[in-house]
Chains A and B, each alone.
Chain A
Amino acid sequence: MVTMAGTLDFLSINVWHILMAIGNLLILVLILKKFLFKPVQNIIRQREEEVEKVYSDADKALSDANAEKELYKKKLDDAKAEADSLIKTASDRAKAESSEIISGAKAEAERKLRVADEDIELAKKKAADEMRDSISEMVISLAEKVVEKEIDPSAHASLIDEAIDSLGE
């Protein structure tokens, strides 16, 4: 119940009222802290964190993209190097093969040439032998005709050969 008990003087000092004024002020400080400053500052801090997160995410995405770019560049370089080495080995092999083929062909040709030379030599020798035989026969028959008597080729062979050799020289 409200009891009307007069009024204070216009200018009065009351310790309880002074203390209550101070207490009221301090209570209002707590009220403002709890219901205004804390919530608003919290929300502002959350917003700053969110903005910070967005920025760091963007930075991370950028660095990821750069790293990936580096990776792809490296891969591309590797692929290029591999292609180069492939081409090089292929061309080297081709060169080696071609030189092998060429040298093989050369050797074959040389061999064939040598064989041919040997054949020729053989044929020459054969021809020379045949010629010598026929000449010796001819000489023997001629000599038979001349001496009218048979000449025993075996008995005179050495003589005849000597004569032919001297002819051939």
Chain B
Amino acid sequence: MEIEVTGAKILLELPFGITITETQVNMWIVMAAIAGVCIWLTHDLKVRPTSKRQIIAEFLVKTAEKFVTGNMGLKWKWFVPYVAALFSLAMFSSLISLLGMFAPTGDLNTTLGWAIMTFVLITFYKIKTNGVFGYAKSLTEPIFVMTPMNILGEFATPISMAFRMFGNIASGSVVSALIYAALAAANNALFGWLPGILGEMGEKLPILQLGLPAILSLYFDVFSGVLQAFIFCMLTMLYIASAAETDS
């Protein structure tokens, strides 16, 4: 028995080497779902709320604002939609694997893209706060010899962030696939020896595959997905806030 571990399926090939894979399509599905939920939550808002929808919508907004301003300070209120988008997109892109679909966060390109955004923002705020020379000078500290290490350190941040999320989600699906395959093999071994048609049916009915993968997906998909989205947002906020601090 062979188990193949691959990335996203390529669904469409466009000119200039652009390909559309499951990653993109599933992310669009997630985005459409989020947009739909938002529109549904916020239609017919009233100054004096009468619907549960509105209370949920206000709770989400307030929670996001508290989450960001609590970690970064009140002057970062404009940053709330970015963090909210990052968190919801990361979380639901991981949770979509519960539906048996490919998780976009299990694709390194996705997490690397988001980490590059964080890196760009960090560097932008470091330069904005300290000036180009201040930023360049901070790379040569404490001694000049450290400069290559410092530059490496700058790039290590987004790369570690990207691989942290990618590794957790992708390894979750790999482990799930392995366990599923192992259970299928065990199923075959258990029921395959039965004579005649019973054996054929036993091999085809996934009896052993029923319970365990569901429980494991609770950890690998739900817990890990939510946690990684949270960690990614936390790191983004903390790195950017500390980059914008004048004292750095």
Interface residues of chain A, those whose CB is within 8 Å of chain B, are 2-14, 16-22, 24-25, 27-29, 31-33, 35-37, 39-44, 46-47, 50
Which residues between 54 and 80 of chain B lie within 8 Å of chain A, taking CB atoms?
54, 57-58, 60-61, 64, 80
Q: Contact: A31 with B31, CB < 8 Å?
A: yes
Among candidates B6, B88, B110, residue contacting A9 with C-beta atoms closer than 8 Å? B6
Residues of B within 8 A of A17 (CB): 19, 21, 23-24, 107, 109-110, 113
Chain B residues, Cβ within 8 Å of A2: 11-12
A36 touches B107 (CB 8 A): no
With a CB–CB cut-off of 8 A, which chain A residues contact B64? 37
A12/B109 in contact, CB under 8 A: yes
Check if B5 is an interface residue, CB within 8 A of chain A: yes
Within 8 A of A (CB), among B1-46: 5-13, 17-19, 21, 23-24, 27-28, 31, 34-35, 38-39, 41-42, 45-46
Please count how many residues in chain B sit with their CB below 8 Å of the partner chain's CB atoms: 54
B contacts, CB < 8 Å to A: 5-13, 17-19, 21, 23-24, 27-28, 31, 34-35, 38-39, 41-42, 45-48, 54, 57-58, 60-61, 64, 80-82, 84-86, 88-89, 104, 107-114, 116-117, 170
Q: Are A18 and B109 in contact (CB under 8 A)?
A: yes
Chain B interface, >50% SS class: helix
Residue contact A20 to B31, C-beta cutoff 8 Å: no
| 25 residue pairs bridging A and B, Cβ less than 8 Å apart | A2-B12, A3-B11, A5-B13, A8-B8, A8-B9, A12-B109, A16-B17, A17-B107, A17-B110, A21-B27, A21-B104, A22-B114, A28-B85, A32-B38, A32-B84, A35-B39, A36-B38, A36-B61, A37-B80, A37-B81, A40-B57, A42-B45, A43-B46, A44-B58, A44-B61
Given contacts A21-B110, A25-B117, A46-B47, contact A33 B81 (CB under 8 A): yes
Tell whether, in the assembled complex, residue B21 and residue A8 are in contact, meaning their CB atoms are under 8 Å apart: yes
7 closest A-B pairs by beta carbon, nearest first, are A21-B113, A8-B7, A17-B109, A35-B38, A28-B85, A18-B113, A39-B42
Given A22-B113, A31-B31, A32-B84: A10 in contact with B6 (beta carbons within 8 A):
yes
Bound together, the chains give a CA A12 to CA B109 distance in angstroms of 7
Q: How far is the CA of A47 from the CA of B85 in the complex (A)?
A: 26
Tell me, rounded to whole Å, the shortest Cβ–Cβ distance linking A46 to chain B: 5
Contacts of A40 in B (CB 8 A): 42, 45, 57-58, 60-61
Main secondary structure of the interface of A (DSSP, over half): helix
Report the minimal beta-carbon distance from B8 to chain A, rounded to whole angstroms: 5
Residues from chain B with Cβ under 8 Å of A44 in the complex: 58, 61
Residues from chain B with a CB closer than 8 A to the CB of A11 are: 7, 108
Query: How far, in whole Å, are A33 and B47 apart by their CA atoms in the complex?
Result: 19
Of the residues B5, B12, B18, B34, contact of A32 by C-beta under 8 Å: B34
Give complex CA distance A31, B92 in Å: 15
- Residues on A with beta carbons closer than 8 Å to the beta carbon of B89: 24-25, 28
- On whether the beta carbons of A43 and B84 are closer than 8 Å, the reply is no
